[in-house]
Structure 1
């Protein structure tokens, strides 16, 4: 199992934003410069993270982004789900998905939700504050 580059970059950007939590806002250009994430990717991720309610954005001169809540209240799971959607180890864990050829005869399928819950729980237990040393 591996995170997409976009989800990885989202965690990196959110960590950078958390390190600037005492400032009014941080610009996309500063995020890009500090993290090495290309500007086009920064803009895409900022849009997704604002839409998910993890960042607040102000446009125009003096604009930028900031965390929408304390770093201790944002988990790695929140960030990943903002970019990739619900965490699902297999398609059969996602509600409404019925596209597996083994559905109906799979003896493992009933147990995937426990595995999925454990992974999501572990990611939920890691806060942005714990990654960055940002104030709680």
Structure 2
């Protein structure tokens, strides 16, 4: 079963790299900003994480950080959970719709050094997005 997840993730990565110009450079840039703005990174929130593509890169770049990743697509999350399992309990994949506020209960009053998103927030309606940004402000 893990092999089929890995194969799907590989296909996903190839597709995303073909569709999103300079994708890897964008990932690197975001991680550089996090690294250069913090002497120590304790926690990162990855919103709209999909199958965990950026989550894995964050876990590898910041090996001491706790990483919470949120999405609501059960198929992508299952792939993500399989993929991030090698990073132990410091990486948590959470299944929540970011249009609501229920996800706030799952992060256990955590405060984050950084909140990142790669290709998800544009799917959220403006009225929900305003509330989401207000929540981000409160947990940074």
TM-score, normalization by structure 2: 0.26
Higher-Rg structure is 1
More helix by share: 2
More strand by share: 2
